[in-house]
Structure 1
Amino acid sequence: MSDALINGLAGAGGGIIAQLITYPLQTVNTRQQTERDPKKERKKKLGTVEQMCQVVKQEGWDRLYGGLAPSLVGTAASQGVYYYFYQIFRNKAEATALERKKKGLGDGSVGMLSSLVVAALSGCVNVLLTNPIWVVVTRMQTHTKKSQPNRIGSLASEESIIAAVEPPPFGTNHAVQEVYDEAGFLGFWKGVFPTLIMVSNPSIQFMLYETFLKKLKKQRLLSSKGNNVSALEIFLLGALAKLGATVVTYPVLVVKARLQAKQITGGDKRHQYRGMLDAILKMIQYEGFNGFYKGMGTKIVQSVLAAAVLFMVKEELVKGSRWLLTRGAIDSVKPKLK
């Protein structure tokens, strides 16, 4: 099994576990980012935990996990694709660095700029392949159960009463159909341009992570403690790297969420976006720069925790996979030696 495939599978596994742990926070954050009702804006702002409780009270526990199934598919696909191509590009960058060293250029290690380029290329491939999944997930996260009026005519049938009080669940098929009806096949690539810009987020994240990890291992070697890094240290390095990347790129994430959410047709033109530039200009005009940072506190908690769990689980899965492959190779050689 190739190193790229090991990293791809480990990344997918780590991503799924991180997603399961932090998904309710992600749902609340997406709603915060896409909130455009000025009346709600003037009300007292609820904290993340209060908003989660409100969703549970008004819509039920299941709405905190709206879109979980396609999100898990998207996470597995995204992390798998990303880590697979990241390792391929990384191997090529390392080979190039060694060739340069032979020519007397550099020390043979991959520099910060090269790490950034590797992460960016991996991210672009990932975005173009998986954007449709995240459009569907955003629709399902922002869909709310609207309560129906209780006053129903006496001639209404029992079936119509049930339908009025409890609307049918909004599933993956509904979200897919809604996106297609609204914008056709290209609708599944809504928000792809800000998403491509958001490639800088994992690029910055991985650049910081690789830099921190490299320095930590170097310090360990200098202190004669070996270069082994514990799971807790990986967790903390991943959290720190994600924190820096999220603070820098959050405004683009808000714009992406606005474009991928259901567009409000008719009525207030402030809530209708024709594209990325139109969304940015309207947000500046009607909401000010504060609009670009809606729900940032929730996102920092969710993304930092998710990234920390992902890095920790991924590294442990990679170590475990390599150990199993090495042991399997040794066991297969033993009978021949006998």
Structure 2
Amino acid sequence: MALTYPLTTVSTRSQVSKTGISQLQAFQKILKEEGVKGFYSGISSGVFGIAFTQYVYYYWYEFVKAGLEKGAAAGRALTIGENMLTGAVAGALTAVLTNPIWVVNTRQVVRKDALDESGNPQKRQSTLSTALKILREEGVVGFWKGIFPALILVINPVIQFTVFERLKTYWSERKATSLNGFDFFLLGAVSKLAATSITYPYIVVKSRMQLKQSTDASERYTSVSDGFRKIIKQEGVKGLYKGIESKIVQSVLASAFTFAFKEELMSSAVWLLVLLKLREGKVVTAKS
């Protein structure tokens, strides 16, 4: 998240914009009006959000997976359908529990520095002040805006992990040596590319629904289908894919880094446990 956050900012700004601004123009506009710090609007809530989201998702993913494996026949691997069910349940629970964080983050990302009565820039709102403002103006329900497209988007990690596991199996069978960090980097990139490309229109609708809704009925989205209908009517089909270039690059890089770091950290952890004699095995073998 930290490495790819500027791409997230450019993509989110493009998603909620109803003008025909390009990715390059969005980048130049942020740089000109807000400086480099503009690319890191809301990064504190973003970093916390991604850490908490990953924790919740992996916890429930492993919990559900263990339950299914216990009920399966001895020695039988989970089927594609069972893997997808595991990802869907984990994703739905994660979406419900973490949506407030992403509502706050989206508001921070798209909010520019406000000006006071003298025309001087005011201090950007913190995560806490943004959350309190939502609570004050929209109530508790304001934190769950965009939850329906978020629930639909649980198919994103389902697609990603299904593609990842299949590619990993395919590549492992054809490679003479064990997979390394770079292999996992590539597998993570390809699997996330497939998932993001398929689900992107829902990401656009979710981002717009997470903003404070306009009083103008033509600008307000009452449901996912209403959002699709109004975007297509007002901006055409291409409106559903605003910001997709930077989002794909960000998603692919973030996923690739995540998988690569995860495998390297696990390898290093095993090596350290063996070195400290807390786990059986040879240090060289565990490290390799």
| Structure of higher RCO (CA pairs closer than 8 Å, 6+ residues apart) | 1
- CA deviations over 1:302-326 (Å, ceiling 9, x no partner): 1111111111111111222233334
Whether 2:28 is the aligned partner of 1:53: answer yes
2:214 to 261, 264, 279: 264
Name the SS of the counterpart of 1:214 in structure 2: helix
Residue 331 to residue 79, structure 1, CA distance change in 2 (3 Å): closer
In the alignment, the residues of structure 1 paired with residue 269 and residue 210 of structure 2 have an alpha-carbon distance, to the nearest angstrom, of: 37
SS in 2 for 1:20: coil
CA distance in 2, matches of 1:325, 1:91: 24
SS at match of 2:3: helix
CA distance in 1, matches of 2:223, 2:126: 26
Please name the residue that 2:15 is paired with.
33
How many angstroms apart in 2 are the aligned matches of 1:203 and 1:193? 17
**Structure whose alpha-carbon radius of gyration is higher:** 1
**Residue 200 of structure 2 aligns with which residue?**
250
Alignment partners' CA distance in 2, 1:90 and 1:200 = 16
Gaps of 5+ in 1: 1-18, 102-107, 149-159, 333-338
Residues 209-250 of structure 1 show CA distances to partners (whole Å, capped at 9, x for unaligned) of: 011111222234xxxx35x21111100000000011111100
Q: 2:61 aligns with which of 86, 91, 98?
A: 86
Counterpart residue identity of residue 112, structure 1: I
User: Is contact 1:81–1:126 with CA below 8 Å preserved after alignment?
Assistant: yes
The within-5 A match list for 1:4-19 is 19=1
User: Which residue is equivalent to 1:120?
Assistant: 88
Q: Cα 1:72–1:124, aligned 2, differ >3 Å: closer, same or farther?
A: same
Matched to 1:22, the amino acid is: T
Query: Counterpart of 2:169?
Result: 214
Matched with 1:198 is: 153
1:331, distance to aligned residue in structure 2 (A): 7.7
Q: How does 1:98-247 map to 2 (within 5 A)?
A: 98-99=73-74, 108-145=76-113, 161=118, 164-220=119-175, 225-226=176-177, 228-247=178-197
Give the equivalent residue in structure 2 for 1:311: 259
Moved more, 53-62 or 229-238: 53-62
Deviation for aligned residue 1:252: 0.6
Q: Distance in 1 between matches of 2:60 and 2:172?
A: 24
Match of 1:3 in 2: none
Matches within 5 A, 1:315-330: 315-330=263-278
Question: In the superposition, relative to structure 1, how do residues 330 and 276 fare at CA in structure 2: closer, same or farther (>3 Å)?
Answer: closer
Aligned to 1:288: 236
TM-score scaled by structure 1? 0.77
> In 2, are the aligned partners of 1:24 and 1:52 still within 8 Å (CA)?
no
Q: Structure 2 vs 1, CA of residues 55 and 26 (structure 1 numbering), >3 Å: closer, same or farther?
A: same
Q: Does 1:74 align with 2:58?
A: no
CA contact (8 A) 2:14 2:23 kept: no
Q: What is the alpha-carbon distance in structure 2 between the residues aligned to residue 202 and residue 236 of structure 1?
A: 16
What are structure 2's unaligned runs of at least 5 residues?
Answer: 281-288
> Percent identity of the aligned residues?
37
Q: Quote the Cα distance in structure 2 between the aligned partners of 1:303 and 1:331.
A: 35
Distance 1:246 1:134 in 2: 17
Give the CA deviation at 1:34.
0.5
Aligned counterparts of 2:277 and 2:154: Cα–Cα separation in 1: 38
Question: CA offset at residue 139 of structure 1?
Answer: 0.2
Deviation at 1:125, TM superposition (A): 1.7
State the secondary structure of the residue aligned to 1:30: helix
Aligned residue-pair number: 280
Q: Is the 8 A contact 1:112 1:211 kept in 2?
A: no
| Superposition deviation, residue 147 in structure 1 | 6.0
